[in-house]
Structure 1
Amino acid sequence: MAAHKEDSKKLKRKQSPASKPGRDGSSTKKPKLGSSKVDDNNGKKPFKPVKKHAKSSHGEDSKQTKEPLSKRDRRIEAKELAEARKMKRKRHYSLEQELAKLWEKMRKRNIAKEDRSKLISEAIQKMKGKIPEIATSHVSSRVLQTCVKYCSQTERDVVFSELRPHFLNFACNPYAVHLVKKMLDSASKRQLGDFVSSLRGQVASLLRHMVGSVVVEHAYQAGNGTQRQELLLELYSTELQLFKDLSLIKESRLVDVIAKLNLQINSVLRHMTSVIQPILEKGIVDHSIIHRVLMEYLSIADKFSAADVLEQLSGPLLVRMIHTKDGSRIGTLCVKHGSAKERKKIVKGMKSHILKIAYDQYGSLVLACICSTVDDTKLLTKIVIRELQTSLKDLVLDKNGRRPILQLLHPNCSRYFSPDEMASLNLSIPSLSAKMPLALLCCQVAAESISKAEENPETNEEPGDEENDVKEDSMAEGDETEDLVEGGKKDPLTRRQELLVESGLAESIIDVCTENVEELLRSNFGKEVLYEVATGGSEGILFPSLGEKLNTLHEAIASVAAEPKSEEPGKEHVFENFHSSRTIRKLILDSPGFAAVLWKRVLNGKCSLWAQGHSSKVIHAFLDSTDDKVRELAKKELQPLIKDGVLKISEHKEVTKKCKLSAE
């Protein structure tokens, strides 16, 4: 049996695969190609496989179709297919290709003006009549921008006339918007007026669009006062949006507009809320026109509406607003009227942006307001002070960067902040402050009386009586709001002490001043920080703990002043320099300790050398000082110079001396 099984296995292995039976028991052996025999089982002709390679005319297989394409050939083939698809999809594809070639030539910097003008004229001639259709293309819009920038006024008018009916559509297109901005930059007064008129009725909807808001902001910046007013008034009220004649009033403040046109304040608030809320929800807060609208809204908003807007703005969103004048004012209002939680969000949102904010003209005011308002000094030290310390020298020498430091050294000093900047720091929201302006109070009283009359039409009370009742209620509410505190609750001196001294900022500033004395003395902006530090700051905040450091600074200033007078024409002594001589004079008048150090190390026995020119102001300071000890130091040496006429006393000083003598 075993031998029989092995023989059967051998036979199976020897049996060819073609002779194996199929599933139905029939043989699957294929007949030879070209055989005309019929299969015995099925009575059909044998199966003929499909030929894989066709015979060429010479009787050989065409093996070229079988060879794979190279990478270069595949790229060329894919490019040709893409070009074919674009030709079918884009109507003016061939024109765009021609314009792209012209653009590559006309945008070069080293091209002659005549050659560029010829290329631009050729491009405009080819685009004529098709500009609205190709303006939304990624390539053609760039060509049009270059043409509008360098073309003549006549050619620019041709482009403007074709684009004018389509401005609103282009304003929301991500490619055509750049062309619209370029048109606004080079538009004539008439063209700019036409464009602003074309925006009428669409300003609110465009401001809610990420791309369209850029166009409205560009038109707002490019327009004059009347055109800006036209864009703004549309956002205030439905009446001002529908009737163009009402927008021709001269009043710019919303309170004055409401008073002149007798508008209902509730209606204005509802309309402005419907405009502002979608913009805040989308986070489109970078534009100055939106900042202006928010400021006007806060000027008439009731307590709850104003608090709601401040809550939405308090956080990282505020960082994107404080680069404009109105945006910085909104930032100041958020800091002053926000809760402790909201102020914490504002400060945290500024993390890693502190230096950029400090160098900004308007952002530095918000930072100064934060340093003088927020009570959480640990948070301020961790986020604000630590970041300021990384670049103290540059901040001290910068016009804007020095403001937060000066605010800590000498808060709200009119010498360092302009009247307009001081007004920004002192702003408040009427409905959230203890005292509300009378005009706004009357508007709100009238609005409340109208709303109550609409709710209760059956009451027969006279309007005057209702208004008087509302006035009494408003006065009662005003008495309750006296407890509201605009700003922090902590003592200002304690807050300054924690931020300036305990944080280590003051010590770092003194070190920077000591190391860069001469540079700061000669600097137009650095000299003010040096003066405040050398005098110990307002209320002598630096003296108790940093007295020795300040003495070292006084010695450093005196050592610079002790250098010999240079005879080189380009090098001035600090006593002869315009900025440094005046700074040293102020230090002598306000810091008796510095005056004593300077006299002993520099001026004792050498006053005649500095009695003329800018340096004479330094010598005069010892006579003008209010400190008796300082005057006594220089009295003996300066009297002979006065008698000899070398040192002249100003006329007003002589008059004051005569008055004192006559009084005695």
Structure 2
Amino acid sequence: MEISSRKRTHLSKQHKSMRGDPEGDSVIQSKQHKFAVPAPPNGENEMALDKGISPRKRRRKVHEHYISVIKPRKHKYVNDSDMSIGERSDTPDTLSQISAIAPVDDTLDPVYEQIKAPKKQVDTTWEQAVEHARGQPDGAEKSYLKKKFSKVSLKVKSPKVKNSSENDQEIVPVAVNNDGKLERRKSLKMQLKKATSKLKSLKSKKNIDDSKKKLDATLADETMTKKPSMKELPKKERKKVRKMMNNNYEMTQRSKKIWEDLRRHDLQPEKKKELCDELMEMVKGKIKQFCFAHDTARVVQCLIQHGTPEQREHVFEELKDDICIMTKSKYAKFLVKKMLMYGSKHQKGLVFRNFHGNVRKLVRHAEAAEVVEYAYNEHASSSQRLLLLEDFYGPSFALFRTPDILTLDQIMINQPDKREMILRNMKEALLPLIDKNILLHSMVHRLFMEFFTYAGDKMRAEMIEALREGLIHMLHTRDGSRVAMFSVWHGTAKDRKVIIKSLKTHVVKICKEEYGHLVMLAIFDVVDDTKLVQKALLEEMLKSTQVMFADQYGRKVLLYALCPRDPLHFHPDIVRVLQEGDKNFTSKKEKSVREQELLEFFSQPLLQYVVDNARDLVLNNSSLLLVLSIITHALGDPKAAMEAIAKIAGEPFVAGDTESPHIVENPAGHMTLKRLIQNDKDRMKSGAGVLFSEVLLMNLGEGSLKSWAACNRGCFTLVFLLELEHPEITKHVVSQLMGIRKSLKKMTFKGAQVLLQKLDLLT
């Protein structure tokens, strides 16, 4: 018989299931109350009711019978079973009443559906398992996941319904949140996991309680002492305990004491030999273990430094197969340096042969690159340097040595067919080396220099574009500065702009470099954008003019801006190198125009600096040529600078003053006056309006020229004025010196004799 809709509603109210109704009719049925429906009155059976009575009247009679017989009875579903038959108020007294009890027809009014006879109980175990396995229907979880499970409060409803034939059955607990909505039930796996963790926590708690009891018992006993744990010890004590756990602890401590004694400068040779022998016996066979620790590595270094050649050979034999690994160690790398410093020629050669084929990897390692750089610069011969560089020329050069060849130039001459292959391999190997830390090494600078020397325009342009921002790290070596010069010469306008901007904030430091200042000279020669040069470079130089004047290479930069490639200030080899940049195809502006624009920017600040610091400059021999060049070549009126120097010369002269000698008697000041006076000849030829000699005589007091004749240098200064052959100047000097001719004859120094001869010729 199918379950009616009212019956299904009744079941859904009793079971607050999360799934709702299944897709089809379920075999699960509600547990019904145990009582029967009485038969119609007057002892008539079911067949009698059907004869001659309409269904409507029959239902009415049954209803009236129900009201009169069944309704007054008060059922006690639980306790009635315990009462005796005589004690029950609803027990039928006669046989007719007993026979009147009959089942209710299924077609009766729905009121009687609640009191129908119980259906045979069905085993629902499999149905419940299927329902549990199905879980939520599609889309149901989305609404349940909106609330966090941590906020869900469990309200368990487990009503029990009695059944005469089966055991009691409980409703499944349902999780309800604070809003009254159903939430997702925890899976069995989660419940088991939670129970397991709870059990573990209880067990651990029990162990803790037991350990606490034992600890209390131990502390209660005054004879027992507590052993401190590692965490309770200070940091130094913990470190010491860990070291003592090492198997070689005693040996390490003894070797360190020997090391401390060997470092002493006053140690006797016999004692030193004895300690070295003891140390050698101690570390023999264990040197590899010692060389990678920060303290024991120093012990082995000391043994290499103070040991005998035989002991060094033994140490080297144990370590020769691990040299490349040692170079990558923070502490063992110093042993390789000691081998190169104190090892024999054969041992050094073996170190370099270990490097061969591994240089490309070692140079990119932070620790190993330092060792390779040290070996290349300090201990490598020409052939050994080529041995290190050959790894970058190609696989064939890394595997096989090239006999009797010392440079890449010889390889290019002897094997011209390998030129393209070598350049291609070098480009592939050098591109990964464009890194701030790697570009500091001179060996890398040499590789880039060789590449730029032989590369074509296309390969050179690609390398310049990749390298232009890192050139700042290469300017401290000869090869590195040459690479930067190549980049400036052959780079595009954009490359030059990037290079110049990368030099900002480092301009003064670069100008003071022995090789870095040449890059500044190359920039002055070829960069057309003089506004960029002025703003990025020259302004920074002029802010530190005093520093530039004090440094020899800084003065070279200023001199090149005033008088480019002047042989008086620049060596022909430097000029020859700078001339290589004249062949570039990027510069379009005339060279004279560039020089004039830079000179206009420099001139006035430099002239003003001479005026403000005339005394320091004229009395300093190193700045003599720079002051002369400023007065000679600077654009603008140099009269103010000349007057500042002439006023110093016009101060009272005291011959033989050693504490503060006069400018005439000071070696640097005398040379400054000499060069400025002699320079007036060129100024007279060029038609310059102001002569230093005229300015000098105008600022000298009466009798100053006579007082100068009292010293040798003063006499020569007067001779320079007379040799100028300027009519007015010569006339003024002769008129001042005519009265001291007799005194000049009595003087024995060379200057007085030369001056007297000049006066005799002019008069």
Fold conserved between structures, TM > 0.5: yes
Amino acid at match of 2:617: L
Decide which moves more: 490-499 or 384-393.
Answer: 490-499
The change in CA–CA distance for 1:497 and 1:195 in structure 2 (over 3 A counts) is same
Distance in 2 (CA, whole Å) between partners of 1:55 and 1:346 is: 72
Work out whether residues 208 and 279 of structure 1, in 8 Å CA contact, stay in contact via their aligned partners in 2.
yes
Correspondence 1:392 to 2:545: yes
> Which structure is richer in relative contact order (CA contacts within 8 A, separation 6 or more)?
1
Per-residue Cα deviation, 1:195-236 (whole angstroms, up to 9, x for no partner): 223323333333333333322221111223343344334543
Supply the AA of the counterpart residue of 1:277: L
Q: 5+ unaligned residues in a row in structure 2: which ranges?
A: 1-155, 160-201, 684-690
Deviation at 1:164, TM superposition (A): 2.9
User: How far 1:599 sits from its partner (Å)?
Assistant: 3.0
Determine the C-alpha separation between the residues in 2 that align with 1:176 and 1:626: 75
For 1:255 and 1:79, the matched residues in 2 are separated by 59
- Note the alpha carbon deviations across 1:500-536, whole angstroms, 9 max, x for none: 544xx5444333323332332233422222111122x
Give the whole-Å Cα distance in 1 for the aligned partners of 2:482 and 2:707: 51
Quick check: 1:148–1:156 contact (8 Å CA) kept in 2? yes
1:283/1:59 Cα in 2 relative to 1: closer, same or farther (>3 Å)? Answer: closer
Cα 1:237/1:53, change in 2 over 3 Å: closer
Cα 1:631–1:125 shift into 2, 3 Å: farther
DSSP-derived class of the 2:439 partner: coil
One-letter amino acid matched to 1:364:
H
On the 8 A contact 1:53/1:62 being kept in 2, the answer is no
- How far does residue 330 in structure 1 lie from its aligned partner after superposition? 0.9
Q: CA deviation at 1:291?
A: 1.4
Give, in whole Å, the separation in 1 of the partners of 2:592 and 2:538. Answer: 17
* CA distance 1:399–1:282, change in 2 (3 Å): closer
The answer on 1:554 being equivalent to 2:642 is yes
Change (3 A) 1:145 1:560: farther
Contact 1:589 1:626 in 2 (8 A): no
Asked whether 1:232 is paired with 2:389, we answer yes
Contact conserved, 2:261 with 2:267, CA < 8 A, in 1? no
2:725 and 2:398 map into 1 onto residues whose CA distance is 64
Aligned match for 1:565, one of 654, 669, 694:
654
Q: 2:460 aligns with which of 302, 306, 311?
A: 306
Q: Over the residues paired in the alignment, what is the CA RMSD in angstroms?
A: 4.4
* Matching residue of 1:271: 425
Letter in 2 for 1:586: R
Deviations 1:298-347 (A, max 9, x none): 122111101111111111x1011010011111111111221221112112
Moved more, 283-292 or 598-607: 598-607
- Give SS of 1:489's match: coil
Query: Given that residues 230 and 247 in structure 1 are in contact (C-alpha distance below 8 angstroms), is that contact kept between their aligned partners in structure 2?
Result: no
What does 1:115-194 align with in structure 2 at a 5 Å threshold?
117=272, 123-146=279-302, 148=304, 156-194=312-350
How many percent identity over aligned positions?
Answer: 28
Q: Which runs of 5+ in 1 are unaligned?
A: 1-21, 26-46, 435-483, 658-664
Give the deviation of 1:172 after TM superposition.
2.3
Counterparts of 1:343-492 in structure 2 under 5 Å? 343-428=496-581, 433=583, 484-485=585-586, 488-492=587-591
Give the AA of the match of 2:370. Answer: V
Name the SS of the counterpart of 1:274 in structure 2.
Answer: helix
Task: Give the C-alpha shift of residue 57 in structure 1.
Answer: 11
Provide Cα deviations, 1:367-398, integer angstroms capped at 9, x if missing partner. Answer: 23223433333433333233223321121021
Distance 1:189 1:526, change over 3 A: farther
- Taking structure 2 as the reference length, the TM-score comes to 0.60
Contact 2:526 2:581 in 1 (8 A): no
Query: How far apart are 1:271 and its partner, in Å?
Result: 2.6
Q: Deviations over 1:339-365 (max 9, x none)?
A: 221112112212222222122111111
CA displacement at 1:53 relative to structure 2? 6.2
- Aligned counterpart, 2:440: 286
Q: Could you list the per-position Cα deviations for residues 110-167 of structure 1 after superposition, in whole angstroms to 9, with x for gaps in the alignment?
A: x634499476665555333322232122333344445545666665555444433322
Query: In the superposition, relative to structure 1, how do residues 598 and 84 fare at CA in structure 2: closer, same or farther (>3 Å)?
Result: same
Pair 1:633–1:57, CA change in 2 (3 A): closer
Quick one: structure 1 residues 332 and 571, their matched pair in 2 at CA, closer, same or farther if it must change by over 3 Å? Answer: same
Indicate the residue corresponding to 1:621 in structure 2: 720
Checking the alignment, whether the CA contact within 8 Å between 1:527 and 1:579 is kept in structure 2 is yes
AA of the residue aligned to 1:557? I
SS in 2 for 1:417: coil
- Partners in 2 of 1:77 and 1:601 — Cα distance? 80
CA distance in 2, matches of 1:571, 1:121: 64
**2:375 aligned with 1:219, yes or no?**
yes
State how far apart, in whole Å, the 1-side matches of 2:303 and 2:312 are.
8
* Residue matched to 2:696: 598
Counterpart check, 1:523 vs 2:616? no
Pairing 1:54-65 to 2, within 5 Å after superposition: 62=219
Partner of 1:8: none
Distance 1:197 1:597 in 2: 71
* Matching residue of 1:542: 635
SS at match of 2:282: helix
| C-alpha distance in structure 1 between counterparts of 2:600 and 2:507, whole Å | 20
Counterparts in 2 of 1:368 and 1:105: CA distance versus 1, 3 Å: farther
The code of the aligned residue for 2:635 comes to L
Cα distance in 2 for residues equivalent to 1:123 and 1:509: 66
Distance 1:242 1:70, change over 3 A: closer
Query: Secondary structure of 2:233's partner?
Result: helix
Seen in structure 2, the aligned counterparts of structure 1 residues 229 and 498 have a Cα distance that, compared at 3 Å, is: same
Q: Which residue of 1 is the match for residue 676 of structure 2?
A: 587
